Structure formats: C-alpha cells, structure tokens
A and B are shown apart, each in its own frame.
Chain A
Amino acid sequence: MKKLTDWVNETKKKRENMKEKNKDPKEQNEQFNSAHSISQSLTDNLNTISKDLGGSADVIIREFELGETDQRKIGVMYTDGLADSTTVQEFVLKTLMIDIRSAHLENIDFEATTLELLEKHSLSGGQLKKVYNLKNVKQHILSGDTVLLFDGETVGLSVATKGWKQRGVEEPSSQTVVRGPKEGFTESLRTNTALIRRKIKSDNLWIEQMLIGKETQTDVAILYMKGIANDKIIKEVKKRLKKIDIDGVLESAMIEELIQDETFTLFPTLYNTERPDVAASGLLEGRIVIIVDGTPFVLLAPAVFVQFMQSSEDYYQRSDIASAIRLLRYVAFMLALLVPSAYIAVTTFHQEMLPTTLLVSLASQREGVPFPAFVEAILMEVTFEILREAGLRMPRAVGSAISIVGALVLGQAAVEAGIISNVMVIVVALTAISSFVIPSYNLGMAVRLLRFLFMLLAAAFGMYGIILGIIILVSHLTSLRSFGVPYLSPIAPSNKEGQRDSLIRLPIWALISRPRLISQKNMIRDETPAPEPNDSTKEPEKSPSGESSK
C-alpha cells in the first residue's frame, strides 16, 4: 500500500516537471492577460472574453448603446441555457434598451457613472454583484449570471439570472420507504440545501460553501449544526476538502474517495444518501453533511458501520417492529456473506454436521454433477454477478430479456443439464436476496466481494477457514476509522447509550443522547418523558365532580 502511494507521488512529481518544461512563454502571457483587470475599452474586453471562451456558441455577447441621448456603450454577456432567458429578457435587456428611455433621470446626479446609475435606479434584478477582473467575469457568465460591462469603466456588474432546466424534487430511487417523506435530493445544490433548511429551521444550521475542481469549479457545501457537531471534525472535514486539487468533481463519490480515512478497505467510511430526512437526522446527530452540486447523493461524515444497516424507516415504524427488522437485516447480512462458503465447507469437509436425511437429499442432488462444490459455487455466483451487472447497465427496453435468460436458461437449464445442483441455485438465490436486504448499496458491494474471499477460504480450510476469515474481518473493521470515529462504535468501543439505537432501536423517548463519539457536546437530544397512561379520564371518579366544578 505504501508503495502505491509512493508511486503516485513520484508520477505526480514527474508530471509537474514536465509541465514546467513545456510551458510556453506566450501561453503564460495569455494566461496572465485573461486574469487581467478589465480595460477601459469595452470592445477590447468583449473581444478578449470571446477569444478566451473560444467563441463558444452558447455564450451570448451583445453590445449596444444605452438610451437615446447618452451615447454610452454597454456590453451584455450571458450563457444561453444557463441564464434564465425570461429574466435576461425582462430585467436586463428590456430595462436597458426600452424602459430606461421613459425613466425620469433628471433629478439624478449626472456626475455618477452609468454603473452606479444602473445599480441604484434601473436594474430590477434581485442580486447584483460588482466584478473587478476578467476571470471573475468569465466565471459569472459560465455559472449562469449575466454580466454587464461598460465603456470606460473597469468594473463590471453581474446580475443573478441563474436558471436552467433541472429535474424537480422526485422520490429517491435508491433508498425507498413505505412510510416517510417521499422527496429526494436533486442535482441542484441550492434545492438540496433548501430541502434540508426546510426540515431544520434552526439558526444553528450553518452552511459553508467552497469551489472544488480546477476546471469544473463545482460548488460544494458543508452543512453542520453549530453547537452539536464536533468542531474538531468540522475542521478536519474542511481541511481535507481544501486539500483536494483535482481538475473535476462530477459526483460526491469522487470527494468521498479523496477525503476518506482508509483507501484500502471494502467498507464505506462515508455515508451517502439521497434522502433529505436522513441528511437532517445526521445533522441532528452531529454529523457533517457535504453536498456536491450536480449529484443528488450527499455525503455524511463521520459514518459508522451500524449506520449502513439502518433505514430511515426504522424511525417511522414502531420501535419493536423496527428492532426486529434491523436484526433481520443483520441475519441477512451474515447470510449474504456466508451462505455459499458455509455450503462449501459443510458439504466438502463437515458432512457429519448435517442431519442424515438432509445429507442424503444433498448428496442425491450432487449425483452426476461434474464439478466440485467450490467450482460449482464460484460458477453460479459469478454468473449471478454478471447477470446483476448486466441488469444494471443495459438499456431498460431489453430488461426483460435478462430475467428470461437469467432465470430460465441459467437457472433451470443448468440444473436440468446436470451441470449445477439444485441446492446451489437455492444457495445463490438466498445469497442474492439477502444481499438486497442490506439498505446501503455500497455496503452491499463490500459483501459481494467478501463473499468470494470466504468461498476461497471455505474451499481450502472448511469451517476453520471461515472462522479465520471472520476473525480477520472483525479485526479489520475495528481498525477502521471515519474522521477519527471508530467504525464499529457504539458496539466496539462499547457505549450503552449508543447501543440503544444500533442493533435495535428503542422507543424514541428512550433515545436520550446523541452518539457520543460523533457529537461530543450538547449530548442530550430528547427529554420527553416516557408516555404514561393518562389518568385524566379516571380523575372525575376519584374526586366527586360536583366539588371540582365548584
């Protein structure tokens, strides 16, 4: 592992050297120019911008004269598709070209510049910002604002006209619930922060924003509850985000991979969700939410193992039912991880563990199967993984073909041809169904991969190998950290308060404190007394009603 990081560093160094050597003095000059301040000549400015943007078709640059008498030139620039065309039309172009003629500007200080005039009196856009150099001008244009440049002025004006086609708030596709909010995050960062704000109207919800990605200039927002989240973790998250120096961030997974504690683990150490209610509950527990513009998946840090086995619906159902279902998920987790390997171990090493009748029925199915149990299992599991991947990637229109090929051809035909035994099909099916029970997709992936490792161990060492594998797995899990929080907490290190909401969920009124290792301050979250049977209906009997009414 160390070697890999060394190698990465070396190649980085080499590339930097190459860059410096290859740098053309002309290019350097140009780069300098583009970041240069705005010049007095409007035409020059417009030409530079047009040239810098390569004359891109979607960037609209217009130049016209303001008013009837006052021959001042003005340049308007916006990106078609990013800027809302009605806003640009109504509040910028119409204002500047038509409305301004009927405006009574007599009383206005004629000493003032056009910019000040427009800023104070004319432009009805909501958000105005001054821009002082061409680099910013371009940035504003490319993020959907409309920029005005004036002849003879070195300051431009940016009008917020952002507005592009975007997906509305829809039901999340990855973490579905029966009962609970049906809204999901969208690709728009602002919508996403709004969705969270709508749930938490506290002034303690702080949102910090930064740009990540040298080329993509992606907005990334960090949300946390001031006074609940651990300051050290906030600092650490910011530190790690600031360290990111990459050309582009297209999905939060890229951020996740760049800021996680441990690269060489199959287990996710940051939680991702599409659900605002999950993000909000994370915030209330003292977690930090990272929202990346352009993806509906937001990140939660720090993340612990039990979190990946929880569904938001656990809190929307009765606690006893939710607890039972949570335990069922852990059973399914173990099944998904161990069923094929246990089958291999028992049928090839420990036949004495099976009741005779079961052994006989297993043996009868294996009569005539040409492969050893291990090869059979690997064949079927790999086939299933291929099917699953195919089902995910292929166009939806041919989706039904996969189920036919998968279920009929591979399942039934393979058994009938005597290549695969019936039990193996059951084992694979059980494993597959169990792995879908795991609420978190990326934990499910970890289980998928680990299963093959366990199968290998089982084939070589039987039960002994499986136990050995579990020991290694558990020690690996205990060694993992997510932003300094032990991955297996609150189970290891054990914390009784935290365990009230881990493997099981106690009633809401019993969940008094926030997770200890995550929040570390303002621990009490719930002071509701346990509900008691209300005696108010009985009270009139105790004290005669006549007396009490007097």
Chain B
Amino acid sequence: MKKILKIIIIFSLLIMSGCWDRKELNELAILTGLAIDKEDDEYKVTAQVLNPGEIAGKAQSTRVAVSTYEATGKSVFEALRALTITSPRKLYLSHLKLVVLGEELATQGIGQSLDFLSRDHELRTDFFILISKENDASSILKILTPIDKIPTSKIFDSIESSEENWAPTKGVHLHDLIAKLSSESDNPVLTGVYVEGDIDFGGSVENVERINSPSVISLDYLGIFKEDKLVGWLNKNESKAFNYIMDNVKNTVGVEKCEGGNVTLEIYETNTEVKVVEDNGLPKITVKVESDVSIGEVRCKENILGEEKLKELAEKLDKQTREVLNEGLITAKELQTDIFGFGEQIRKQNPKLWNKVKENWNEEGFVHLDVQIESHYNIRRTGTIKESFQWKASGD
C-alpha cells in the first residue's frame, strides 16, 4: 500500500507540477530590441520581434526578418503587456540586445523607465542602452539593415566593434548605468544613435535591396547626463577625451599634422591613471595617460622616422592629447556634470576629503576642480616599411 502511495505521489509530481513554465520555441516572440518613448504622460513601448523563419529557415519569402509592435501604457511593464494585443505570441525578453530611449524621455529623466528592466527576472543585463538622437526611439527599430538581417544585432555589433577600434564610442550596459545613476559622485553617459536618411523608406524591404542603403542606422557620440537627465551631447574629440580619462580606449587611431600632410597613428595600448592629491583642503586631480602607438600611415614630405623626429612627433602627440582632454573637461564643466567620475575617485582615494567637498559636487566642486593632464607617447613600431616610397618619388 505504502509503495503504491509513493508511486502515485511521484507520478503526480511529474504530471501536476511539471510544465508550468514550459514554452515551446514556436510559441515565443523573441524580442531583441525595445524602444521607450514618452508621449505626454504615457510610455510608448516599441518592440522589435524576430521572425525566425525568415532569418534561418529554409523557405524564405520576401517578408521582413523582424517586425515591430507598439503599445502605450502608464508604465513600461503595462505597455509591454499591452503589446500582446498586437503581437501574435508572448514576448520573450531574455534575448534583448538593445534598449533605445527617446531623447525627450532622456531629457526628462530615464530613472523611472529603467526600474522594470532591472527588476524583471526574464531580462539579462547584457544589453546596451542607447539614446536616440533627434528622432523618436521607435524609429530606430523600424529601419531594415543590410548584411545583418536583425537590425538590433547590427547595432549591437557596431557598438562592440567601434568600442574596440574607435575611441569616441562607449557601449553601456544596464548595470553600469544603474551603478552610475545611484552614485552621488558619478554621472552616466550613453551613446547616441540616429537614422540617416528617410525613416519611412528605411522600414521597407527596398532599403536593403540597394547596394547603398538610403536609410542607415548610425552611432553618434556620447550624450551626457546629470543624474538621470540628458543635458548635452559631446562631439568626437570630447567623446574621445571621456574615454581616455575613463581608460576605456582599447585601440584607436590618431592623426597628427606634419609637413606637407599628416601622419596617422594606431594607438594600440593606453593606460590612464587618475590620482587625487589634497591641496589646501581641496582635491587636485592628475590624469596620466600613457600610450603605445605605431605608425599606420605617413603622408609627409619629409622623413619623420629618424630618432629625433620621432621624439618630436611624440611630443606633438602629447600636446595634442592634452588639448583634446582639456576640451572634453571644459564641456563637462560647462554642463556642470562630473561624467568622469572624479568625485568617485576622490571618494575612493581620500574619503575624508570627499566628505568635505561632496556638497553640490557637480555644480561647485567639479566645476572648480583643478585637473592636471599628463600624457606620454611611446612610438613602438613604424609598420612594415621604413621609408615611404613617396619621398623617393618626390625627391627625383
């Protein structure tokens, strides 16, 4: 009797408790992009959902690989649930790659819309957060891209590759953003994204049928925040300055003038140190940038590869870097927001001092902060050729 009872219990486990969370693959709408805009008091959520059959299936038709659905609601969560009215399947959030926030929403403050993203169990935190510049956030998700059939994955990949190879961009994950938002000594930045060309045309298949797609999604430079509100945009040099100071640069190029043209250098290793010194009860910051570079392209009339010349070149580079970094610093100071995390550095390195200066840090402490920038370049390699063939041609 007892044995039978045991068997019944085990089987009822299998039958009754099982499968509550079961979802077949063809019951899922795999969501890869989410755009959040603010319309009056309501959130407008746009979801980009994959159409797997068109991406990897055998029998592909002319239908598009992704579809977008829109819904509005008082909160992000409500709007997402409201999407089920239009979406054929339940949205599956785990594979989210991109969240685009509207510029309008960003200027009003992004904090409230992020809560759902970090609270929901289905979401991972490895998606990038972007700000749509000029257009609505939803329009970013409505452009078809060539090569990569999934537009969000195209954006995701461009962020990753440009971050690796191009100094002015920076991909921000949710947890980075939230850490910065919740810190009083730090302010976040987010990369901007915009549509180049006609938005309506970008949503049609014609857009990807041409060799040169008329509408493309392009990454912009960094938008800077004060607390959770967007206060301005950095230009290329300023964005570069930000990444240099934050030690985010992995590999990039720099151009320096020389006689009759310029020389382009590949910066393949940079290391930034931020040091805090107390000076008369006030913090003083030294930013020391150390870079290893190699010469990538030479368009000069004269030979610049001599030992002396290279030294000169390195000095020029040092000077240029100091200027660029200063430029970024000045912009941030003008906007009164400490995006560099100097406050955070002071708090880490000298907590007592931080306690003294933390009142109105962004508006006063940071604006009047004395920042010394030092830069040192090591030219390690000159590429696979020594002298440029142009010199001989011009010399003859």
Contact = CB atoms under 8 A, between A and B. Distances in A.
A363 B28 contact: yes
A460 interface: yes
Given A352-B124, A367-B57, A362 B25 contact: yes
Nearest to B50: A360
B207 to A, nearest CB: 21
Contact of A351 (B19, B28, B50, B56): B28
A460 B22 CA distance: 8
Interface string A354-374: 001101111111111100110
A333 B299 CA distance: 63
B56 A461 contact: no
B126 to A, nearest CB: 11
Contacts of B150: 360
A363 B25 contact: yes
Given A356-B97, A359-B95, A456-B14, A367 B22 contact: no
A420 interface: no
B16 to A, nearest CB: 9
A459 interface: yes
A365 B13 CA distance: 31
B124 A347 contact: no
A349 interface: yes
Interface string B74-89: 0000000000000000
A347 B153 CA distance: 21
A361 B54 CA distance: 10
Interface in B283-341: none
A351 B21 contact: no
B122 interface: yes
A486 interface: no
A361 B22 contact: no
B92 interface: yes
Interface in B84-136: 92, 94-95, 97, 122, 124
Contact of B52 (A352, A367, A459, A461): A367
Interface string A1-45: 001000000000000000000000000000000000000000000
A383 interface: no
Contacts of A363: 25-26, 28, 30, 50, 52, 56
Contacts of B14: 456-457, 460
Interface string B55-85: 1110000000000000000000000000000
Contact of A460 (B17, B94, B97): B17
A368 B19 contact: no
B94 A352 contact: yes
B55 A348 contact: no
A444 interface: no
A367 B23 contact: no
Interface in A371-418: 372-373
Interface string B187-199: 0000000000000
A462 interface: yes
The CB with the most chain A CB atoms within 10 A, among B14, B54, B124, is that of: B14
The secondary structure that dominates the A interface is: helix
A42 to B, nearest CB: 64
A365 B26 CA distance: 9
A351 B23 CA distance: 9
Given A351-B28, A351-B92, A352-B94, A360 B55 contact: yes
Interface string A144-175: 00000000000000000000000000000000
B17 A462 contact: no
Contacts of A459: 18-19, 22
B95 A352 contact: yes
B209 interface: no
A76 B249 CA distance: 105
Nearest to A367: B53
Contacts of A369: 26
Contacts of A457: 14
B276 to A, nearest CB: 41
A352 B32 CA distance: 12
Contacts of B15: 460
A360 B19 CA distance: 22
Nearest to A362: B25
Given A348-B24, A351-B28, A352-B124, A460 B55 contact: no
A367 B52 CA distance: 8
28 contacts: A347-B24, A348-B22, A348-B25, A351-B25, A351-B92, A352-B94, A352-B122, A356-B95, A359-B25, A359-B95, A360-B52, A363-B50, A364-B53, A364-B55, A364-B56, A365-B56, A366-B24, A367-B57, A368-B26, A369-B26, A372-B22, A373-B24, A373-B25, A457-B14, A460-B14, A460-B15, A461-B18, A462-B21
3 tightest A-B CB contacts, nearest first: A460-B18, A352-B94, A364-B52
Interface of B: 3, 13-15, 17-19, 21-26, 28, 30, 32, 50, 52-57, 92, 94-95, 97, 122, 124, 150, 153
Given A362-B25, A366-B26, A367-B26, 15 more contacts: A351-B92, A351-B95, A356-B95, A360-B30, A361-B56, A363-B26, A366-B24, A367-B52, A367-B53, A367-B57, A368-B26, A369-B26, A457-B14, A460-B13, A462-B21
